[in-house]
Amino acid sequence: MHAYRTHSCADLTKDAVGDTVRLSGWVHRVRDHGGVLFIDLRDHYGMTQVLCDPDSPVFTEVEKVRSEWCIRIDGTVKARDESLINPKIPTGEIEVFIRDMEILGTAEELPLPVFGDQEYPEETRLKYRFLDLRRESLHDNIMLRSKVVQSIRKRMWDIDFTEFQTPIITASSPEGARDFLVPSRLHPGKFYALPQAPQQFKQLIMVGGFDKYYQIAPCFRDEDPRADRSPTDFYQLDLEMSFVNQQDVFDTIEPVMKGLFEEFGGGRKVDQDWPQISFRDAALWYGTDKPDLRNPIKMQIVSEHFEGSGFAIFAKLLEQEGTEIRAIPAPSGGSRKFCDRMNKFAQEQGLPGMGYIFWRKIDPNGRGEGDGTGFGFGDAAKNDPSELEALLKEGIYYDKTADEWIEAAGPLAKNIGPERTEALRQQLGLGIGDAAFFLGGKPESFEGVAGRARVVIGEELGLVENDRFAFAWIVDFPMYEKDDEGVIDFSHNPFSMPQGGMEALDGDPLDVLGYQYDLACNGYELVSGAIRNHKLDIMYKAFGIAGYGPEEVERRFGGMVSAFKYGPPPHGGCAAGIDRIVMLLADTANIREIIMFPMNQRAEDLMMNAPSDPSGEQLRELGLRVIPQD
């Protein structure tokens, strides 16, 4: 018999009844039922119930075991009574009577429970991550991640991609985040960088004549932490292809992504048609470049309805250059209570508030719906043109199609008048019981809040189709952006080909679009990529606009500059964030729930005590000195 086990804790079925077996694992929990001890024994594969009574030669030893002790037991497989069968586990029809036991490892008092899924402070969970990993939900997440990576590799090989590894110690590259620098012992005062992405290397692989490259690539960025982003390192499916255009890249990665979400999505719907939405339209409609299309709300520009209107705040605002008014439709949000709540939300986000209009059904005989307002004008008014005109001035009108009386309510409706209010309702496609919220100014001042308001409105009104993965390609990103001081810099990937080539770079930089694209799913960016700029003259000019002279370009990207002198092929690719993919599949909003050994919010490893102070000898070898911070 094997020293530790003949079976795993998920193997045994009724076919094994009467067999002598050996199992090893952790004591998940102990139950004492009137002198009969039941132990749920757990290993990586599952759970088996083992039991012991005073007839067992090791009963007194079994009485001593506690939760999370590691033990080995020998015993006889018995069938459970039919009333005691547990259909939730594969071994639920049997139990094992213990005849011998060996304690392989005892456990001190636990700093956090393993049994159950109780909430526990994250700092404790990270300090004792090796215990946290024993918890079923986290264990399952980590296994899911491994299976996803395995499936990615198979899918990429199946479409003729070849896996190559690129260097981990390299030179600094502008990827939009801070580098992790590594001091060189052999070259005092000089530093390597951990790669933010294998960007330059994968392009050089294409120049080297390899047609389709992929890699499960580690990437390192010194970033501020967020729930959906690691503050130190992450993994991505990195791929690059030669002789392709933008649509070729989409056609390559879409089946891979669809297949992953169909395989591991737990039966949730996976959209088959992925729209391509321009960056400009995404900002307008959704207030973000990573929209959640499970939410059907689409914002619109409604400036024309407020120009010269009685709502002075918006009317005067529109007299300023570059301003506009946007509406957020809220189907079924037509109550004063909900509208006031959303107005408060906007104030909590730092804005003065949100204007609103809501449309409600009223009773012409004197009983209002919603807040009890009565009018008492009589149902016969619907056949009296003069009465209808008088009521319209009060924001009340008769809907012939629905055969109902409707009032446009809220102070904003009273200020702009019935014609403008009705025109707004028609443009937004709203009706009885619906509402609309309004924000105005220069788009950059309110776009983010509008996007967040759209999300909250969709969630609170139950409009979001949660059991679904909704994908969209965001395309036509601007190549450049201007910072608060008016300085032009790259807005996305600096190695992208500008749409229109060299000619596009002769005009206003803020009008230049790149062959850059992101894939959004359920409010997260999952994929980012571009068709690369493989022409040196265009590359020099593109970087020059962002303030990088030829000498700087050659200093920073000497390898690529040299390579592009020797017949570079047109090429492009993308990278898919594995951590975020698994996060969505595991249905968690915290990326630390799908990483085996994550950092905390302050980029610290509490288990390994990193970062740590270097020794004096290490600093001397590297020619470094630590300057104390004030």
CATH number of 82's domain: 2.40.50.140
Cα–Cα dist 586/106, whole Å: 32
Nearest residue to 576 via CA among 156, 294, 138, 140: 156
As a whole number of Å, the end-to-end CA separation of the chain is: 65
Backbone angles phi, psi at 317, to 5 degrees: -60, -40
Cα–Cα dist 26/333, whole Å: 52
Cα–Cα dist 499/515, whole Å: 6
SS3 of 461, please?
A: coil
Structure tokens at 129: 């991550």
Q: Is the pLDDT of residue 367 over 60?
A: no
Q: Is the pLDDT of residue 399 over 90?
A: no
Backbone angles phi, psi at 408, to 5 degrees: -90, 115
Cα–Cα dist 465/459, whole Å: 9
Q: Which of 74, 105, 136 is the last residue of a domain?
A: 105
| Strand ranges for 532-608 from DSSP E | 571-577
Q: Which of 59, 75, 105 is the last residue of a domain?
A: 105
Backbone angles phi, psi at 540, to 5 degrees: -60, -45
Identity (one letter) of the amino acid at 480? Answer: Y
Q: Considering the chain, what is the average pLDDT of its residues?
A: 92
Pairing of strands 20-33, 480-482: unpaired
Mean pLDDT of 170-180: 78
Mean pLDDT of 157-166: 98
Instruction: Give the count of alpha carbons within 13 A of 6, CB side only.
Output: 13
Q: Which of 464, 482, 498 is the last residue of a domain?
A: 464
Residue 242: strand pairing partners: 571
Mean pLDDT of 361-371: 65
Output the CA–CA distances (angstroms, integers) from residue 538 to 478, 503, 505, 550, 562, in the order listed.
16, 9, 8, 12, 15
Q: What percent of the chain has pLDDT over 90?
A: 81
Q: Kindly report the pTM of this predicted structure.
A: 0.91
Mean pLDDT of 391-405: 77
Structural domain includes residue 99: yes
Higher pLDDT pick, 491 / 248: 248
pLDDT (tens digit, 9 = 90+) per residue, 61-119? 999 999 999 999 999 999 999 999 999 999 999 999 999 999 999 999 999 989 877 78
Q: Is the pLDDT of residue 372 over 50?
A: no
Structure tokens at 176: 């939009």
Mean pLDDT of 33-49: 95
Higher pLDDT pick, 422 / 248: 248
What is the reported pLDDT for 176? Answer: 64
With cut-offs at 50, 70 and 90, classify the pLDDT of residue 247.
very high
Q: What angle do CA 114, 117, 123 make, to 5 degrees?
A: 75
Structural domain includes residue 92: yes
Structural domain includes residue 32: yes
Query: Is the preceding omega at residue 611 within 30 degrees of 0, hence cis?
Result: yes
Higher pLDDT pick, 288 / 491: 288
* DSSP H helices in 42-135: 59-62, 122-127, 129-132
Structural domain includes residue 473: no
Structural domain includes residue 227: no
Cα–Cα dist 202/207, whole Å: 9
What is the reported pLDDT for 285? Answer: 98
Q: What is the Cα Rg of the chain in Å?
A: 32
Structural domain includes residue 599: no
- Residue 545 CA, distance from chain mean position: 33
| Burial (CB count <10 Å: 0-12, 13-18, 19+), residue 109 | exposed
What is the reported pLDDT for 382? Answer: 75
Nearest residue to 495 via CA among 142, 62, 198: 198
Structural domain includes residue 73: yes
The domain of 73 spans: 14-105
Cα–Cα dist 509/207, whole Å: 28
Structural domain includes residue 476: no
Which range (16-25, 399-408, 593-602) has the least confidence? 399-408
Q: With beta carbons less than 8 A apart as the criterion, state whether 43 and 9 touch.
A: yes
Output the CA–CA distances (angstroms, integers) from residue 301 to 281, 339, 355, in the order listed.
11, 20, 14
What is the reported pLDDT for 175? Answer: 60
Q: With beta carbons less than 8 A apart as the criterion, state whether 155 and 138 touch.
A: no
Output the CA–CA distances (angstroms, integers) from residue 271 to 261, 275, 299, in the order listed.
10, 10, 22
SS3 of 194, please?
A: coil
SS3 of 407, please?
A: strand
What is the reported pLDDT for 443? Answer: 93
Identity (one letter) of the amino acid at 313? Answer: I
In the block, tokens 């001091």 appear at: 183
Report the domain count for the chain. 2
Identity (one letter) of the amino acid at 330? Answer: A
